[in-house]
Amino acid sequence: MTMRTQVVIIGGGPSGLLLSQLLDRKGIDSIVLERKTKEYVLSRIRAGVLETGTVGLMRQADVSERMDKECLLHDSTVISHGDEQFSVNFKELTGSHVVVYGQTELTRDLYAAREEMGGQLIYNVENVTINDAKTDKPYVTYDVDGSENRIDCDYIAGCDGFHGVSRQAIPHSVRREVEKVYPFGWLGILSETPPAHEELIYASSDRGFALCSMRNANLSRYYIQCSLTDNPDDWSDEAFWQELKRRIPADVAHNMTTGPSIEKSIAPLRSFVCEPMRWGRLFLCGDAAHIVPPTGAKGLNTAASDIHYLYNGLVQFYQAGNSEGLDQYSEKALARVWKAERFSWWMTNLLHRFPDQSEFDLKMQLAEIAFLKSNREAQSVMAQNYVGLPY
């Protein structure tokens, strides 16, 4: 079967769905291809801190009603080392805040909106191939239930993640990839318990990093730095809670509510960027082009900024016949991506224990935390980055 659309979007996660929803509201047709089922996509546990810009895009896409009702507004965050802790006040320093709203719920809202508007989403696709991306007549082929299909289009958005086909469609002679793999992971659990603190706690300790986060008033998300050789099955719930309490301030540990985990997983940490993010009529978005360690809560938010640039470029082209926004997409997206990479790298280095750290390195970490605690300008820089740099 052969179909025709204006934009083929490869990947039915939040970035692909958001792009499709935004385009639809401007009368631009798209088809979303997803290699898994809707249920599988919604089962993935991901981040929940949304920048100001991401929230604005959700509102622009007219899918923010539930988010605005149920989200948690956070005006600050807590940094701790041992029992010492201090707050970085985003509202006071930047006039803005972040929103805590689980990525699963955000994706659920986007699915509902696309289905209500009759958006074309095709699941369980296999053997997706991008063809003639360097010409003005690109097309995508794929299989569903053993049947080959073809979609002719004007443009292709690769929103299919780090392991997807989109980035691989760019020849090795064209793309440049840089990567830093960190020598540890994050063991995370989800528990139906009230949060340990009203704000997120980023904890540095002699035993390693920890993070106290939440999804709502009765659903908490906790992480501890762990070895890459660990397996989630190595950690009982009791062992996790004991280790977490050793890494966070004693008063928080004493008052927190623990309970059985409903999800437990280990995520490796890496920094990765592919340049360029455009090849002909193919545009890379989100994890297809870049990965950040989760320390700075930038993964979904950086994908959203890509969608902002690509969406506006496509609208400019279809409404005014002007390709300037599309021509500048890679340059603009990468300029912001690298700033997000820097911030995530900085926070990761600030708060984690590295296996080869010298005594000097540890002293520098402590000095950096002490400087951040005492210096308003340093806190302002952190706050600007955390709530999200302007597009």
pLDDT at 41: 86
pLDDT at 362: 96
Helix (H, G, I), strand (E, B) or coil at 77: strand
Pick the CATH number of 183-269+354-387 from 3.60.15.10, 3.30.9.10, 3.40.50.460, 1.10.3720.10: 3.30.9.10
- Residue 238 confidence (pLDDT) above 70: yes
Average pLDDT over residues 140-146: 95
Q: Give the separation between CA 298 and CA 206, rounded to whole angstroms.
A: 25
Average pLDDT over residues 79-96: 96
DSSP H helical ranges for the chain? 14-25, 38-43, 52-60, 65-70, 90-94, 103-116, 237-247, 250-255, 299-320, 324-327, 329-351, 359-374, 376-387
Helix 299-320 to helix 52-60 angle, to the nearest 10 degrees? 40
- Residue 366 confidence (pLDDT) above 80: yes
pLDDT at 217: 86
Tell me the pLDDT band of 42, cut-offs 50, 70 and 90.
Answer: confident
- Residue 391 confidence (pLDDT) above 80: yes
Q: Give the separation between CA 297 and CA 386, rounded to whole angstroms.
A: 8
- The whole-chain average pLDDT of the chain stands at 96
Question: Alpha-carbon dihedral of residues 250, 252, 253, 255, nearest 10 degrees?
Answer: 120
Extents of the domains making up the chain: 2-74+97-179+270-347, 183-269+354-387
Average pLDDT over residues 362-382: 97
pLDDT at 38: 84
- Which of these, 10, 9, 12, 8, lies nearest to 44 by C-alpha position? 12
pLDDT at 39: 87
Q: Does domain 2-74+97-179+270-347 have CATH number 3.50.50.60?
A: yes
Tell me the pLDDT band of 45, cut-offs 50, 70 and 90.
Answer: low
Average pLDDT over residues 342-349: 98
pLDDT at 102: 86
Residue 181: DSSP 8-state: E
- Centre a 10 Å sphere on the Cβ of residue 8 and count the other Cβ atoms it contains: 26
- Annotated catalytic sites, by residue? 74, 202, 294, 298, 386
pLDDT at 43: 81
Average pLDDT over residues 77-99: 96
pLDDT at 48: 85
Q: What is the tens place of the pLDDT at every residue in 117-129?
A: 999 999 999 999 9
Tell me the pLDDT band of 216, cut-offs 50, 70 and 90.
Answer: confident
- pTM reported for the whole predicted model: 0.95
